[in-house]
Chain A
């Protein structure tokens, strides 16, 4: 078995593991819904609203100081605090395992091809989704966004499935136009940006759902998607989405600039309104609009969330339709 066959095997194994992780994440959401139903019945029977508050202890202790404990009521805390979930831990562990196999697939492909593993559509998809998972794992180590697992792993699974079945190409050497250090930088940064946009998109969708839930009121029995009661409040989701999107926006700006520098070297002009350039520009403008919307009265909240969703739709369009069906200089899908 040569390295490329090993890469293919590792990728399919990663997909199998991700499928299991996806199921585990979905079970966790179902469990959360069950907890919310139970909490709803409990509140109904007690007919008194239990308010769960996240307390943060900001006190300072010491021999010479008496401490004043301040309890900060966090309006953004989940209405129903989810219980510790074994299945969620299994899901994360499976995701890490899948990630390691996925990483093996990318590395062996790169070694077999003697270059970075992102020179055609199949490889973009493989490395791009790897970065989505990597970003997700890095983020959940710092902020508990494990509830996004179903979405993130599901998205990656769909993209990988399409790539492995429809986009697979044998290893071929780089055409002269791609033989540049900028291939390493420009495409890698664009893929990382895409990963963060995906995270921002998922958070914005949840923000909208959460906002509607909060608008309905605290009555848990009326909820359709019950698990959202275990997620942070819409304002917190919005802030998290914003943070993911602005980091992605910086990376996207860099992608545009690096792309322009490369285009100057390879094509003799730094900007020429090539279809891919046009769509990269459109995405940049949409997210610029999103950032402005966050600072515009009347546009904060749900309206800006829609812009984040439209922005990510444009990102997906740029990756799929523009690559495959539009004529232009970025014809590197290898298909």
Chain B
């Protein structure tokens, strides 16, 4: 049996072959163990089961779009737990936050693929045989077939007519076989469209290939994230990543050694279109790459244009500002200086960051800061940013002192400050103003701890002459140019997936297989010629579709027409 028994073209089902009423006197033989297995297998590989599993798969995929998923939206899951403290653990128990890796989702698609394999293997064998078999014997009564036509030739003989039909069908890509009928007729039997079944099998096999490749591919590669500030260099080693997720079979020792420096990060903002004023229209990271012993190369990384380098793909997925902050102790010795990435909170890049100073001062110091690239004072006294570029940058910081909670060596996020064991020194209820700095400015830290400086990365910038009329007394006011006063950072994702090419190949096979299996008609055509007693020749043409074939009747008519033309009919 090449096809499942409930496939449309698979002949009459058992229920139609046998009398509808089952005779109670007939003792059904017991199936036995092997028989039961065979029964289950046959059920699993039937069209009906495949269809059921397909629809079940569609339904099972829905919840993953309703509930946040750990794989694509981990923060959404945390938020969901906070918003629905009672429901969330229940959902978590049935793997609702990991739908696509859950036991139930996996079992559906695995069953589907077993059913698919069980269907494809016997069909492949059958198709292989069919491709080598000759076209079948011509049916005795062609006029019974739905796609049928005939014409009567005056003159000539059946042999010549069939020879012409034979040539015509061969030229049209049919596989042909000549048959001698019992009533003196001769005929050519032809079949075409084997590619339809080939395409169908390629499609289904490629789906299996895709599933296996994706399953294996996830284990062979890795994905890592790294934030790089302008001027900094990232080295492709495990220690230099901010986060690193290796596949099951990936050994981090295999990381290709190379270095990538972020020379400059450029952002272009829309300034003409008032409906999109300040909307970024381009992000470009200018980088220099270098392999050990190799020459440095200048490259760029853009959104939609990743850097393919040394077997890795480097994507530009985020950016922001990294104010350079220097802290000195009361004696003026530098205890901390670094460019600290602040995470953007809105479209105008109001950014949030944390500064931790574990050593060098009497007590550990922590700061939670906001950075406004273009600060605007609100009526409430708080700042907001009104434009994402550096026009009037302001950094505000609240200082905490006490235990940073990092001495026990446990890793802590650099973007979070746990203030449970700390005392707030500025801002909030303390009554002390928060530290407020523009690039190049310094301020004393409260409590005599020392001082803090917001470094200007480009202190030599020419001041911009502001519009004279803006000032009442008509004097020209100079405003500092802050355009490059604060370094930017780029957040890179580095991926390595050796199976990506295979996935692409299988995707192309899927598409190609689908095209051939849906659009190449598989059909049998017969041309039969009989010499009539009156010297004329009766020629019959008939076609039989195997699978969907909306053009069958037209095809049979066309063959009759072309056959007539080949025999010299004048029209």
Contact = CB atoms under 8 A, between A and B. Distances in A.
Q: Do A and B bind each other?
A: yes
Given A65-B151, A265-B305, A289-B55, A176 B570 contact: no
B55 A273 contact: no
Interface in B235-294: 270, 273, 275-276, 279-283
A278 B313 contact: no
Contacts of B64: 273, 278
A297 B3 CA distance: 12
Contacts of B100: 273
Nearest to A299: B51
Nearest to B7: A295
B275 A170 contact: yes
A172 B275 contact: yes
A60 B72 CA distance: 65
A250 B6 CA distance: 25
B272 to A, nearest CB: 9
Contacts of A250: 511, 514-515, 518
A60 B68 CA distance: 66
Contacts of B566: none
Interface stretch (B125-133, B432-440, B478-486, B556-564): B556-564
A55 interface: no
A260 to B, nearest CB: 7
A285 B47 contact: no
B315 A268 contact: yes
Contacts of A286: 55, 58
Given A58-B149, A179-B303, A65 B51 contact: no
Contacts, number: 181
Interface in A264-278: 264-275, 278
B338 interface: no
A60 B151 contact: yes
Contact of A173 (B270, B303, B495, B511): B270
A28 to B, nearest CB: 26
Contact of A292 (B47, B76, B282, B547): B47
Contacts of B65: 275, 278-279, 322, 326
A285 B57 contact: yes
Contact of B561 (A60, A173, A246, A274): A60
Given A65-B153, A297-B13, A173 B276 contact: yes
B462 interface: no
B568 interface: yes
A296 B8 CA distance: 5
A180 B304 contact: yes
Contacts of A62: 564, 569-571
A64 B47 CA distance: 51
Contacts of B570: 62-64
A60 to B, nearest CB: 5
Contacts of A246: 518
A31 interface: no
Interface in B508-535: 508, 510-511, 514-515, 518
A58 B557 CA distance: 7
Interface in A140-176: 170-176
A149 to B, nearest CB: 23
B58 A282 contact: yes
Interface in B472-508: 493, 495, 500, 503-504, 507-508
Given A64-B570, A67-B151, A293-B51, A253 B275 contact: no
A179 B304 contact: yes
B306 interface: yes
A176 B58 contact: no
B279 A266 contact: no
Contacts of A239: 550
B506 to A, nearest CB: 10
A61 B571 CA distance: 6
B150 A296 contact: no
B279 A172 contact: yes
B410 interface: no
A239 B552 CA distance: 13
Contacts of B7: 295-297
Contacts of B48: 296, 298-299
A177 B303 contact: yes
A215 interface: no
B548 interface: yes
B217 to A, nearest CB: 10
B57 A176 contact: no
Contact of A60 (B281, B568, B569): B569
Contacts of B282: 176, 179
A295 B99 CA distance: 30
B61 interface: yes
A327 interface: yes
A48 interface: no
Interface string B63-74: 011001101110
B152 interface: yes
A296 B510 contact: no
Nearest to A254: B511
A326 B73 CA distance: 12
Given A242-B548, A268-B493, A292-B54, A176 B152 contact: no
B150 A176 contact: no
Nearest to A272: B72
A270 B221 CA distance: 14
B303 A176 contact: yes
A170 B277 CA distance: 12
Interface string A244-258: 001001100110010
Contact of A68 (B150, B279, B511, B569): B150
A307 B52 CA distance: 12
A177 B304 CA distance: 6
B514 A253 contact: yes
A294 B6 CA distance: 11
Nearest to B147: A72
B302 to A, nearest CB: 7
B509 to A, nearest CB: 11
A68 B151 contact: yes
A60 B570 CA distance: 10
A59 interface: yes
Contacts of A268: 223, 306, 313, 315, 317, 493, 495
A89 interface: no
Contact of B50 (A172, A174, A254, A292): A292
A298 B511 CA distance: 28
B307 to A, nearest CB: 11
B62 interface: yes
B155 interface: yes
Interface string A97-133: 0000000000000000000000000000000000000
B511 A65 contact: no
A266 B315 CA distance: 8
Identify the interface centre among A257, A261, A322: most chain B CB within 10 Å of its CB: A257
A68 B152 contact: yes
A64 B153 contact: yes
B281 A65 contact: no
A249 B511 CA distance: 10
A289 B282 CA distance: 42
A267 B283 CA distance: 14
A45 interface: no
Given A176-B283, A273-B100, A243 B560 contact: no
29 contacts: A59-B151, A63-B570, A64-B568, A64-B570, A171-B275, A175-B279, A176-B281, A176-B302, A179-B282, A249-B518, A257-B511, A261-B504, A264-B313, A271-B214, A273-B69, A278-B61, A278-B62, A279-B65, A282-B62, A286-B58, A293-B51, A295-B7, A295-B9, A296-B51, A297-B6, A297-B7, A326-B65, A327-B73, A327-B76
Interface of A: 58-68, 70, 72, 170-177, 179-180, 239, 242-243, 246, 249-250, 253-254, 257, 260-262, 264-275, 278-279, 281-282, 285-286, 288-289, 291-300, 307, 322, 326-328
4 closest A-B pairs by CB: A172-B276, A62-B569, A268-B315, A170-B275
Given A269-B495, A274-B72, A327-B68, 5 more contacts: A60-B560, A65-B151, A67-B151, A176-B280, A278-B65
